[in-house]
Structure 1
């Protein structure tokens, strides 16, 4: 068989090689704070983590996790409802203006699931984690991802359209919110089927799955949405009884009472 001739032009135009060249070029010019090198677990002294936190938001999950781990951290409070998150100072940290955000020695990270995994892998020393590559680890991922899919979308639709100002969107449509509530409660059938009568989402100990599931479930229970799902209700009660949870959720409860004093008409209508 005749040897194939080498065509430099074809070689350089190969799509895969073009992609790799562009990637190497972007890595050379990317800001160092945006690169994500492999980070070994820290088993000794932990540096101070900064948590940017707003009551009633997903940053509660990180607040609770840090309290459970007993890590040293600084909490910077931001009022979600007074526009502070849209200011230049916070947008310079997170252009999305969303919560949670952590800063760890100049490393900025957003998204609660990513932050939970980062903190546990770097500072958890094995706590609240399953063995790498195990089926339990896969189940933890399953419930972490599930908590931010349909349940979160449906619950957000309810709050956007059935909560009173300033918790609702600019032009709320209550029927959309009521449908969101019905759809959220329907998704609980999956969790009700798979939860045990005791323990937590995956096994006898807390895991990242519980830190993720706690946010939508506690808010749902706050508004009595779990009444027809006894295992979900009992699971939420077990989580809510933990001292670290009670510490972290206190400001969210206070804010909810402040924003939604006893049963505003939209919330009362959504119960029907």
Structure 2
């Protein structure tokens, strides 16, 4: 059985969401960042940097949330979250995952980290107008895709989980305010039963 080391409100959420979408048998091990569970000697044997998430599959360990999500997608016998090998859709799948982790994350991560020392009612004010404008410049490339369906058209894939997890962070810290299409796309993602189970 797959074992996911998880903390709420971290990038581990997207890994849990991917597991819920596939239905693969798994165990979620909750780590408290407040108690520094992720810095325990036991956990440092799994993730030497003491970060979450980490996925354990037998004797193997997979680190980094995007890599974990992609690995989970490949393990699903029905391949529901990944386009066929060798297809142009597969190339675009890689493109948008790397685009999200390189460009979107670089803008979202800072404001998101600034949001959490704040009381919940003030978290949506963490982002600046300049940061919102920078995010919209990147999201503009996806505008037509997100308006019509999912990142790859009609097939929901891991690319949506990676982008959606980042947009969830963006919304929390106020980066998505007034973004229109990306806000509606995130609302559709939140309606997915697997998203809701992962957010529990």
Query: Following TM superposition, by how much is the alpha carbon of 1:180 offset from its aligned partner in structure 2, in angstroms?
Result: 4.3
Tell whether 2:48 aligns with 1:98. no
Match of 2:14 among 53, 61, 80: 61
Tell whether 2:97 aligns with 1:184. no
**Distance in 2 (alpha carbons) for counterparts of 1:100 and 1:217:** 18
Query: Following TM superposition, by how much is the alpha carbon of 1:226 offset from its aligned partner in structure 2, in angstroms?
Result: 2.4
Q: Is the 8 A contact 2:15 2:69 kept in 1?
A: yes
What does 1:18-97 correspond to in 2, within 5 Å?
48-97=1-50
Match of 2:117 among 152, 161, 164: 164
Structure showing greater relative contact order (alpha-carbon pairs closer than 8 Å, 6 or more residues apart): 2
Query: Following TM superposition, by how much is the alpha carbon of 1:185 offset from its aligned partner in structure 2, in angstroms?
Result: 4.0
**Distance in 2 (alpha carbons) for counterparts of 1:163 and 1:237:** 22
Q: Is the 8 A contact 2:43 2:50 kept in 1?
A: yes
| 2:123 corresponding residue in structure 1 | none
Instruction: Give SS of 1:236's match.
Output: helix
| 2:159 corresponding residue in structure 1 | 209
Measured at CA, do residues 73 and 120 of structure 1 come closer, stay the same or move farther in structure 2, by a change above 3 Å? same
Larger radius of gyration: 1
**Distance in 2 (alpha carbons) for counterparts of 1:204 and 1:128:** 12
Cα deviation digits, residues 179-198 of structure 1 (max 9, x gap): 54553344322222x42423
**Distance in 1 (alpha carbons) for counterparts of 2:35 and 2:176:** 30
Cα deviation digits, residues 20-48 of structure 1 (max 9, x gap): xxxxxxxxxxxxxxxxxxxxxxxxxxxx1
Question: What is the TM-score normalised by the length of structure 1?
Answer: 0.65
Question: What is the TM-score normalised by the length of structure 2?
Answer: 0.86
Match of 1:123 among 61, 76, 90: 76
Tell whether 2:192 aligns with 1:239. no
Q: Is the 8 A contact 2:73 2:81 kept in 1?
A: yes
Tell whether 2:107 aligns with 1:154. yes
**Distance in 1 (alpha carbons) for counterparts of 2:134 and 2:146:** 23
Show structure 2 runs of 5+ residues with no match: 120-125
Measured at CA, do residues 106 and 249 of structure 1 come closer, stay the same or move farther in structure 2, by a change above 3 Å? same
